[in-house]
Amino acid sequence: MTRVQQSPVDTGGDSSGLSYSADVRKNDGNLEVSVAADAMLATATLYPPIGDGAPLTPDYAAELLTRLGVTAGLLWDEFVEHILDVNTDRHIQRDVPVARGVLPVAEHPEHIVVDERFLPGFRPVSDDELSVDWKSISPVLVVKKGDIIGTVIAQQDGINGTDVCGRAIPFSKDAIKGYTLGKNVERLEDRIQATSDGRVILDAQKISVEDVLIIKGDVDYRVGHILFPGDVVIEGGVGSGFKVYSGGSISIKETMDAFDVSAKKDLICAQGIIGKDQGQVRVGGSLKAKFIENARVAVRGDVEVPGSIVGSKIYALGRVAMGDKGRIVGGEVFATHGVACGFLGGGTKPVTIINVGVDFTVQQKLDQAGAVLRELSIRLARLQNMFKTRPEESIRKARDDTDAKLRALATNIAELSKRVDIDEGASVEVKNVVYPGVIITICHIRVSIDEPMKKARFHLDRVANRIIVEH
């Protein structure tokens, strides 16, 4: 009868398993089985027969494994191949896998996985980039309505494992802290998507899309350019060379360097606007700023500046309103519905031009058309002179084409001229002093100031076709 012996063996690490073997006749093939401490793996050492000893047989191995309780996860076909090899080659084979347990599969609850680009953390610049515009790298991640933010991972049921002795190993339940849905976010089947344009916010495991962007500090290299579909609130200032685009309104608490700023609605700058290089500001609504210096500003609504406008070009389809001490010094102002200020011009007689009563967008088209008209007129004159000395067909055709373009452009200019003066009631009111060097134009009727004036109001007398000054 076979007798099973047990002796501890080292299986590596901090745990040990058990080694099992059976008594056989001297010189017969023999088998020793080791079971790991966690019973997830059984291995064998195969001893070949010596001389005329009996070979090791699969039946002998099967009986031994059964007596040892190794009944699950058997790698039987491979193990039998090893038995045949050891009988043939007559070499000891060690650590031959006999049986392997099946690990349990943990239970996963349903949860949301957020797209990687919305997760916080630094993202290195690609090595393929030859140069990097650090101003364009911004932590503000914007989505549009309908954009996918994350994916819903379905629940995965747990599955028990089994060790080599057939004992069940209970599965665990993963504690996954999933995201909940916040403002402007909805679930559509297995996708999480934005219901409005805005910035993705991950706060306390909640996913939201905020339609107002708040910058806690300055717009600088830490923040980068701002391109946001909603309102933008900047609690600091805007650094030189940085762009701020908003699909809503912009509110800035400190001074703004006007490199490239665009607001679809209103712009409020609690301090002031300082122009930089060829910088420009575009506002779809109204503009409020403490002062404006050396800037180019286009506004579809009203402009309110209690301080000063110095050396700037202001284009407004509304009215420019300043306080009793507000000053306009140098530069040029277009204000469709008028200007009101405290001081106009300066003691050093800087050229200060005020245009009211006109639609500056039409005026710009007129200016552009006028420049093209002059170029075409020069070209036509040259072609006419060439045709006199060289009456060739190609020159005649070029002359006639240029003449046709010139006539069409003249017609367009005539139509624009009818639409450029849109408010004959617009006026320029100065509460304190108008200095020499000031030029005031109301609906293309001009007056130049050669002597200082105190408290004056300029308005148009269309019957007399001249500007009236009231003191």
pLDDT in tens, 386-413: 999 999 999 999 999 999 999 999 999 9
Residues 56 and 192 in one domain: no
Together in a domain, 160 and 178: yes
Looking at the domain assignment, is residue 307 inside a domain? yes
Which CA distances in Å does 410 have to 342, 386, 399, 405? 41, 24, 16, 9
Q: Determine the pLDDT at residue 21.
A: 58
Residue 68 belongs to a domain: yes
Measure the CA–CA gap between 312 and 285, rounded to whole angstroms.
Answer: 19
Query: Identity (one letter) of the amino acid at 448?
Result: S
Look at residue 58 in the predicted model and tell me its pLDDT.
93
Low-confidence ranges of the chain (pLDDT < 50): 1-16, 122-123, 125, 129-135, 137
**Is 167 within the bounds of a domain?**
yes
Closest Cα to residue 118, out of 193, 186, 218? 193
- 366 located within any domain: yes
- Domain of residue 411, residue span: 362-420
Q: What is the predicted pLDDT for the residue at 1? A: 31
Residue 407 C-beta-side C-alpha neighbours within 13 Å: 6
Q: What are phi and psi of 35, to 5 degrees?
A: -115, 125
Q: Tell me whether residue 118 is exposed, middle or buried, using C-beta atoms within 10 angstroms of its C-beta: 0 to 12, 13 to 18, 19 or more.
A: middle
Residue 393 and residue 320 share a domain:
no
Residue 346: predicted pLDDT: 92
7 vs 19, 60, 187, 304, CA distance in Å? 5, 20, 60, 95
**324, 306 Cβ separation under 8 angstroms:** no
| Domain shared by 318 and 452, yes or no | yes
Complete DSSP assignment for 193-234: EESSSEEEEEETTEEEEESEEEESS-BSTTT--EEESSEEEE
Tokens of 107: 């239970």
* Predicted local confidence at residue 201, as pLDDT: 80
106 belongs to a structural domain: no
Q: Do 228 and 333 have their domain in common?
A: yes
- Quick: pLDDT tens for 97-119: 999 999 999 998 888 888 877 77
pTM above 0.85, yes or no: no
Give me the torsion for CA of 290, 292, 293, 298, rounded to 10°. Answer: 170
H or E element in which residue 393 lies = helix 393-420
Q: Quick one: CA dihedral 59, 63, 64, 69, positive or negative?
A: positive
Overall domain count for the chain: 4
